[in-house]
Amino acid sequence: MTWTWFHRLASPPHVYTLAARLTPWFAWPAALCIAAGLWGGLVLAPPDYQQGDGFRILYVHAPSAWMSLMVYMTMAIAAAIGLIWRMKVAHAVAASCAPIGASFTFAALVTGALWGEPMWGTYWEWDPRLTSELILLFLYLGYMGLRAGIEDPQRADRASAVLAIVGVVNVPIIHYSVTWWNSLHQAPSVMRLAKPAMPFAMVAPLLLMLLGFTLLFVALLLTRLRSEVLTRERSASWIREVVSA
Amino acid sequence: MRAFLDMGGYAAFVWPAYAVTLAVIGLNIVWARRALVRAREEARRRLQMQGEAR
């Protein structure tokens, strides 16, 4: 087996052009999935027998929460690869993840509060799931603050990578908080191995939204990665070609 | 249509939740694109300065 593809992934000009070429292949399917998911979730799915139409917040809340965790794992894995193999592009991936993850963590918290008020009678509770998700937001913000505070890019990469990796501890805590502790938050009803606890018309829009958000993340990441690679490569001659094009 | 907008009495919670999420999606797209435009402009300026210094 040859490892040329891996070495090519470490080459900034190759990554830049590859990212540019791949972006539309993720962006348009993402738009389609999210549009179909919104239609299905707001119009086609039947009201819940307990929560009525209030349960429709699920279709924006769960995908945002999924993004908050999936983006964090991507960021931490990229940071680890950057630390271990001293791969600049991996650090650029990690840095690109943070603002995306932070914003969707914010969306998960706000939509969760808007769901909590009518169903639990409170916008916020210092509950294990809610508190650990809030800590996730602070981890993202801390990561971005740390990067912004260190001028030397290599030192910023390394210091922020350590923070990202240490913060992984929080991910299983968020995920299992609803089973480990007595949480207000319900246990997962779709992401489980047994049959989902919802009829197809309710599950299908959710799966579309989850897929759409994931594709959107890839498209956003590829776009951000291009700007990260451009700013990191100060004086490379390949930049002349891509910038003048 | 009115029934749809009313969301079974949950309109005050459902619609803001959708609005916030869609705003986050929209802002992410705008931010990512703006960062790329800025990075390209900055790279172009850098190359120009290098060219003049020669």
pLDDT score of B54:
59
Give the residue on A whose Cα is nearest the Cα of B40: A243
Question: Per-residue pLDDT averaged across A66-94, rounded?
Answer: 96
Q: Structurally, how many domains does chain B consist of?
A: 1
Question: Per-residue pLDDT averaged across A89-97, rounded?
Answer: 96
| pLDDT category of residue A109 using cuts at 50, 70 and 90 | very high
pLDDT score of A195:
63
The answer to whether the beta carbons of residues A90 and A78 sit under 8 Å apart is: yes
d(CA B52, CA B13): 58
Residues A132-146 have pLDDT tens digits of: 999 999 999 999 999
pLDDT score of A5:
72
Q: Report yes or no: A241 at the B interface, CB cutoff 8 Å.
A: no
- For residue A56, pLDDT over 80 is answered with yes
User: What count of residues does chain A have?
Assistant: 245
Of B20, B28, B39, the CB nearest to A220: B28
Residues of A in contact with B15 (CB under 8 A): none
Residues A202-237 have pLDDT tens digits of: 899 999 999 999 999 999 999 999 999 998 887 677
Residues A8-50 have pLDDT tens digits of: 777 888 899 999 999 999 999 999 999 999 999 999 999 988 8
> Phi and psi at residue A48, in whole multiples of 5°?
-70, 145
The answer to whether the beta carbons of residues A101 and A75 sit under 8 Å apart is: yes
Spell out which chain B residues touch chain A, with contact meaning CB-CB distance below 8 angstroms. Answer: 4, 7-10, 13-14, 16-18, 20-22, 24-25, 27-29, 31-33, 35-36, 38-40, 42-44, 46-47, 50
pTM for the whole structure: 0.92
| pLDDT category of residue A179 using cuts at 50, 70 and 90 | confident
In terms of Cβ atoms closer than 10 Å to its own Cβ (0-12, 13-18, 19+), residue B26 is exposed
Give the distance from residue B50's alpha carbon to the nearest chain A alpha carbon, in angstroms: 9
pLDDT score of B1:
82
Q: Report yes or no: A245 at the B interface, CB cutoff 8 Å.
A: no
d(CA A4, CA A232): 23
Which ipTM did the prediction report?
0.92
Residues B1-54 have pLDDT tens digits of: 888 888 988 999 999 999 999 999 999 999 999 999 999 999 888 888 877 765
Instruction: Pick from B4, B5, B37, B40 the residue to mutate for testing the A interface (most A CBs within 10 Å).
Output: B40
Question: Per-residue pLDDT averaged across A90-114, rounded?
Answer: 97
pLDDT score of A81:
96
Name the residue with higher pLDDT: A167 or A242. Answer: A167
pLDDT score of A194:
57
d(CA A232, CA A236): 10
d(CA A73, CA A86): 19
DSSP A98-154: HHHHHHHHHHHHHHHHHHHHHHHS-S----HHHHHHHHHHHHHHHHHHHHHH--SHH
d(CA A206, CA A200): 10
- Listed by start position, the domains of chain A span 55-182+199-232
Which residues lie below 8 Å from residue A135, measured CB to CB, with a gap of 6+?
A: A170
Cross-strand bridge partners of residue A48: A52
Q: Which of A32-36, A154-158, A191-195, A236-240 has the lowest mean pLDDT?
A: A191-195
Q: Which of A22-36, A67-81, A177-191, A222-236 has the lowest mean pLDDT?
A: A177-191
pLDDT score of A178:
86
Cβ–Cβ of A111/B42 closer than 8 Å?
A: no
pLDDT score of A193:
52
pLDDT score of A13:
87
pLDDT score of A199:
82
Three-state secondary-structure class, residue A167: helix
Structural domain including B26 reads 2-53
pLDDT score of A2:
65
